[in-house]
């Protein structure tokens, strides 16, 4: 898979670990990361990586800022993106398995190295289960198109 990565100034150390994990799992890294701890605007970087997913230049993306919240909000504004902020392995698994998340958002300030590794490995190796969850993901996509998901046929 091609994995886009991006970070702001508070995610420099964490994104380096993320890039190493991506390489260890034999995925290709599409790098939009900021290499410096000088302040940068997270929406700019979140957009670049999320847009890569939206335009199929990358299969998924991993974003890191101080808390992960800002990156998550910004990325979810990009059409076709389902960004999930994950703080543990279970969040990572469910975000892929149930929600087919294609962008993972992480905290550079709050996650230790071991937890970060578990989250990223789990997220990259977990498939979408489909089934009843597919109907729900389609409803999320309908909202993105301005439709009311309550009016959708529950086939």
Residue 38 lies in a domain: yes
CA distance 154 to 134: 11
What was the pLDDT predicted at 142? 87
Residue 34 lies in a domain: yes
Candidates 27, 29, 86, 98; catalytic one: 98
CA distance 34 to 43: 12
Residue 140 lies in a domain: no
Catalytic annotation present for 9: no
CA distance 83 to 89: 16
Candidates 9, 27, 29, 65; catalytic one: 65
Catalytic annotation present for 105: no
Residue 153 lies in a domain: no
Range(s) of the domain holding residue 83: 2-129
Q: What is the CATH number of the domain that holds 107?
A: 3.40.1400.10
Residue 134 lies in a domain: no
Sheet holding 103-107, edge to edge: 28-31, 2-7, 60-65, 103-107, 83-85
Count how many domains the chain has.
1
pLDDT tens, 80-123? Answer: 999 999 999 999 999 999 999 999 999 999 999 999 999 999 99
Residue 152 lies in a domain: no
Q: Please give the model's pTM, rounded to 2 decimal places.
A: 0.93
Residue 72 lies in a domain: yes
């Amino acid at each position: 898979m091609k994995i886009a990565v991006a970070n702001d100034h508070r995610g420099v150390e964490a994104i380096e670990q993320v890039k190493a994990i991506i390489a260890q799992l034999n995925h290709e890294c599409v790098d939009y990361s900021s290499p410096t701890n000088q302040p940068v605007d997270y929406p700019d970087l979140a957009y670049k990586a999320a847009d890569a997913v939206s335009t199929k230049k990358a299969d998924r993306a991993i974003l890191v800022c101080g808390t992960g919240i800002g990156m998550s909000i910004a990325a979810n504004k990009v059409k076709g993106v389902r960004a999930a902020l994950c703080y543990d392995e279970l969040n990572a698994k469910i975000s892929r398995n149930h929600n087919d998340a294609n962008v993972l958002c992480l905290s550079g300030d709050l996650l230790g190295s071991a937890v970060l590794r578990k989250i990223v490995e789990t997220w990259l190796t977990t498939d979408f289960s489909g089934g009843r969850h597919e109907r729900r993901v389609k409803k999320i996509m309908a909202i993105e198109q301005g439709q009311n998901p309550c009016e959708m046929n529950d086939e």
